[in-house]
Amino acid sequence: LTGHPGPEHKAEAINSYDNTLVELDGFLGSLFRVLRLETRPALLIFTSDHGENLFDDGRNRFMHALRTPSSWDTQVPLVIWSNAAYQALNPEAIQHLKARSAEPVSHRDLFPTLLDLAGIEWANAASQASLASPSWAPGKRLLETFEGLGPDFDELRRQEQGCTSATRAG
């Protein structure tokens, strides 16, 4: 597909997007296989800068970075993986990360986590707790918009779930 497909091309748009995910999955899988065999401590952190609207609800939105954010283009994966050597060096951090695997996190949590997991100390570290720290707690997940900090992600998602339910029921 080229350009901006209309909702009549939803299946093709989703197929095109899914093909990129298949390639990404293969790439990450190859990294995991290499790092799993590594005897030195290895840590892999993967996230995306954005999700994608793929005609997911009655608004028929497509792509990302639209003026008004949606939960579809703001919800992204976060994968934190380590090999056995890293886990042996940092068992407490790994334990905290595993305990938080279902918690609502944000990109704002990523930088302190990266520094912490790399063993780097920084000024005001206590004010920005890492996901691997015992002091981390979920916070508001404010979205960055064209106008600055925008709506809370969780509130946006609740609103859209109501909209999607109403659209499906109608």
* 112-135: pLDDT as tens digits: 999 999 998 888 776 678 999 998
β-pair partners for 117: none
* Cα–Cα distance measured from residue 170 to residue 90, given in angstroms and rounded to the nearest whole number: 52
| 169 confidence band (pLDDT: 50, 70, 90) | very low
Q: Which residues of 32-62 are buried (b: 16+ CB within 10 A; e: fewer)?
A: eeebeeeeeebbeeeeeeebbbbbbbebebb
Residue position matching structure tokens 């209309």:
6
What mean pLDDT, rounded, does the chain reach?
A: 84
Q: Report the pLDDT value the prediction gives residue 166, as an integer from 0 to 100.
A: 44
Q: Which of 11-25, 89-103, 125-139 has the lowest mean pLDDT?
A: 125-139
Q: Output the pLDDT for position 128.
A: 74
Higher-scoring residue by pLDDT: 39, 1? 39
pLDDT at residue 163 in the model:
61
Token pair for 83: 């090999």
Q: What is the pLDDT of residue 152?
A: 83
pLDDT digits (tens, 9 = 90+) for 23-66: 999 999 999 999 999 999 999 999 988 878 788 777 777 877 67
